[in-house]
Amino acid sequence: MLDKVRDLHQEIEHYTINSPEQLEQFRMRFISRKGVITELFEGLKIVPQADRRAVGQELNGLKNFAQERFETFTQQIDEQRTAADSAPPVDLTLPTIPNLTGTQHPLSLVRQRIIQIFERIGFNVADGPEIESDWYNFGALNFPENHPARDMQDTFFVAKVENGAPADMLLRTHTSNVQIRLMERQKPPIRSIMPGRVYRNETISARAHCMFHQVEGIYIDRNVGFKDLKDTLYHFVKEMFEPGTQIRFRPSYFPFTEPSAEIDISCQICGGKGCNICKHSGWVEIAGSGMVDPQVIANCGIDPEEYTGFAFGMGIERITQLKYVVNDLRLYTENDVRFLQQFEGL
Ligand code: DAH
């Protein structure tokens, strides 16, 4: 019995209370008529007569201690309550704190839209490395040794030492490297688009950046012809831009396609009348394209006698500029929320 009294004494000593509910729990356990202390008093009857007095005294001591603690705790909770009551009232007429959710970056929006358009006509999405060898970025794509695009002024070279000799590693200047990687590892039919980052050693300005995004496309199979290229890109322009947008193919040159064409669309800003964006021509270029050069197909171990194909490449920043009239390339990377918030909900 005395042990029990001591244990309860200790329990009360270490008791802490932070809420009216805890205060009530304390009362039920130690103070109330159904509590543990009353129970012990009832047990007093069976304590031998000789000890009863001493045990009774201990028990009374415990009862008083519990009562004292209860009063202190009650006071403490009362104080907490008055403090809360005297806090300034909540003004329910105040406007709520806005719940700011992020917005999709315009380049992500346009990339997703491009992917969606091509996926619906049977293209899948492929990926390739941004740090690339000279062979995949240039050599396999028929760039001659002395082609100006390999020049230090355009390409970021990455020093990498292999067997003691510096290897020609670089940051890819276009996504065309993925064409080569795909054709190397996959048998035709190949029908893929390849979005990704590219790098060029340019001074950053409103019109140029050292990092930007492209989407490459390639279709290799038996009997793929220039008409397929045209159909595919007409479809893309129709889906991507305003109804009535004009499209034209302009003969051009790329080392890895023959014949090659650049694709222009009627200026989205002035509707073809002429403005700063289209340099008063009414047309803006959106992509390069062409029939993949048989030599490039052969470079990847595919028989160009059996398979032909087309490829194209476009800049995501350029498409976004035309779609959303963004006239300074730097806006894409500055993370200014005033710019980014304009794309909310798109
Ligand atoms: N790689 C070219 C560039 O960066 C774009 C390009 C042109 C890609 C023609 C192609 C193509 O696949 O067929 O300017």
Q: What is the pLDDT of residues 65-91, one digit of tens each?
A: 999 999 999 999 999 888 888 888 888
- The pLDDT tens digits for 130-157 are 999 999 999 999 999 888 878 777 899 8
- Say yes or no: CB of residue 155 within 6 Å of ligand 1: no
Average pLDDT of the residues in 270-295:
93
- The pLDDT tens digits for 276-288 are 888 999 999 999 9
Residue 162 above 70 pLDDT? no
- From residue 307, alpha-carbon distances to 4, 126, 191 in Å are 93, 20, 13
Pocket test for ligand 1, best of 132, 142, 174 (most atoms within 8 A of CB): 174
Q: Supply φ then ψ for residue 124, to 5 degrees.
A: -105, 175
List CB contacts of 107: < 8 A, sequence separation 6 or more: 213, 316, 317, 320, 332
Angle made by CA atoms 226, 262, 169, in degrees to the nearest 5:
100
State the pLDDT confidence band at 174, using cuts at 50, 70 and 90. Answer: very high
State the pLDDT confidence band at 167, using cuts at 50, 70 and 90. Answer: low
Q: Is 32 helix (H, G, I), strand (E, B) or coil?
A: coil
Return d(Cα 66, Cα 23) in angstroms, integer: 12
What is the enclosing helix (H) or strand (E) of 115?
A: helix 106-120
- The pLDDT tens digits for 212-254 are 999 999 999 999 999 999 999 999 999 999 999 999 999 999 9
Pocket test for ligand 1, best of 176, 249, 293 (most atoms within 8 A of CB): 176
Return d(Cα 336, Cα 65) in angstroms, integer: 65
Token representation of residue 336: 């200014």
Residue 345 above 80 pLDDT? no
Burial class for 142, CB neighbours closer than 10 Å (0-12, 13-18, 19+): middle
Mean pLDDT of the chain: 92
Percent of the chain with pLDDT over 90: 71
Q: Bigger pLDDT: 195 or 163?
A: 195
Token representation of residue 78: 């009362």
Average pLDDT of the residues in 291-297:
98
Quick check: 194 and 126 in contact, CB under 8 A?
Answer: yes
Instruction: State the distance from the centre of ligand 1 to the C-alpha of 318, rounded, in angstroms.
Output: 14
Average pLDDT of the residues in 309-331:
94
Residue 164 above 70 pLDDT? no
Instruction: State the distance from the centre of ligand 1 to the C-alpha of 176, rounded, in angstroms.
Output: 6
Question: 106-340: CATH homologous superfamily?
Answer: Bira Bifunctional Protein; Domain 2 (3.30.930.10)
Q: Is 165 helix (H, G, I), strand (E, B) or coil?
A: strand
Average pLDDT of the residues in 126-132:
96
- Say yes or no: CB of residue 216 within 6 Å of ligand 1: yes
Instruction: State the distance from the centre of ligand 1 to the C-alpha of 334, rounded, in angstroms.
Output: 27
Residue 259 CA, distance from chain mean position: 38
Average pLDDT of the residues in 23-45:
91
Positive/negative CA dihedral, 39, 42, 47, 51: positive
Q: Supply φ then ψ for residue 316, to 5 degrees.
A: -70, -35
pLDDT attached to residue 83: 84
Q: Is 125 helix (H, G, I), strand (E, B) or coil?
A: strand
Return d(Cα 129, Cα 181) in angstroms, integer: 9
Residue 11 above 60 pLDDT? yes
Q: Is 162 annotated as a binding residue?
A: no
- Say yes or no: CB of residue 176 within 6 Å of ligand 1: yes
Instruction: State the distance from the centre of ligand 1 to the C-alpha of 255, rounded, in angstroms.
Output: 9
- The pLDDT tens digits for 178-202 are 999 999 999 999 999 999 999 999 9
Return d(Cα 255, Cα 180) in angstroms, integer: 14
